[in-house]
Amino acid sequence: MTTSDLPIVRLRPKANARAIRHGFPWVFANELVTDRRTQGLAPGALAVLEDADRHPMGVVTVNTGSKIICRMLDRDPTAKIDEAWFADRLTRALDMRSRLFTDPFYRLVHAEADGMPGVVIDRFGDCAVIQPNAAWADVMIEPLSAALASVTGVTTIVKNGTGRARSLEGLTEETVTLRGAVDGPIPVPMNGATYMADILGGQKTGLFFDQRPNHAFAARLSQGARVLDVFSHVGGFSLAALAAGAAEGLAVDGSAPALALAEQGAQAMGVSDKFATRKGDAFDVMAALAEEGQQFDVVVCDPPAFAPSKPSLEAGLRAYERVARMAAPLVAEGGYLALCSCSHAADLSKFRTASARGIGRAGRTAQIIQTGFAGPDHPLLPQLAESGYLKSLFFRLDP
């Protein structure tokens, strides 16, 4: 497709063209001229974006059914978005990950930060999972998957089309295997532990690579310790702690399949005798553990996003405060509490305030010893604050 084949979409005079020229990757619906021609574009269509003075700004993808009506694909208005274009983006992404990680288990593409807006790709050895969270990636899934196989050599590719982001784009949910076959959960080595990733039926792509450095820091605190891992998924923090020499680990989650995978991971590591699981609502289980008088040397709480959007911020902050209030009494004197948030809407300052308030309401005092973020395979686009969603706070609790 050449630029002469692409329709033109145009910014309104009051749109912030300067921000887009300086790297902001999105155009919101109220910033674009939405005449009948633009409204007629199919979701995920390509177009050339012009400013209000008709100066080309680059190739964008358009979805008039989304609040993010345009996403910048290439700032060259003559760019051809095809398999070769995908291969170039993927090659650059792979080069950085290959320098960072010895084993091919990582986030390969982190959406806008890797120049592929709305696209997440996680790699599990010879398998890769694509999350096409924007309409254009759904439309171009074939050249994307072909380039992915060519550049990385993966033999199995899964399209995981689930999640809130797709609904905001007006997309249906589906999970399909595009290439190869998936026989079962995939063992993933990370921080000395073994995790079992269900890439067909698990949460997100099957494993959360973003917490890798925070798992490692918690593990450093856990030698010889009793560790409580709340909202554990497949045992992210507890298995890393056991790999580092923790005395015992207890994983708490509401999902029986996730806990079964955690148990498989513990068995593969040879630490089943030190590992236990407890299924149930995290708040209920923490309350029960407190009634039992149990305390742990390290407690980690890694809940789902309580504040995924601005309207949910206040309720989300109250939930984070409640987590801290209920977790703090479970920490032994001089022990450690790690609290995590993956909420876009709750920035670090707000999350830290909510966490500190909860610890104080529990009658404990604390010092922050570490603030953690996602690993380097989850790069940040400086112009897009939303790409820096993960925060982890590590506290040492006084009596």
Pick from 310, 311, 363, 300: nearest CA to 336: 300
Strand stretches in 8-54, DSSP E: 8-10, 26-28, 45-50
Q: Point out the catalytic residue in the list 70, 127, 340, 342.
A: 342
Pick from 394, 391, 376, 317: nearest CA to 114: 376
Q: In terms of DSSP H, where are the helices of the chain?
A: 17-21, 36-39, 83-100, 135-139, 141-152, 164-168, 212-220, 236-243, 256-269, 282-291, 313-327, 348-361
Q: Is 342 noted as a catalytic residue in this protein?
A: yes
The dihedral through the CA atoms of 90, 92, 93, 98 has a sign that is positive
Cβ atoms 243, 195 nearer than 8 A: no
Pick from 275, 274, 128, 149: nearest CA to 207: 128
Query: CA 12, 17, 21 angle in degrees (round to 5)?
Result: 150
Pick from 61, 65, 84: nearest CA to 73: 61
Known catalytic residues are: 342
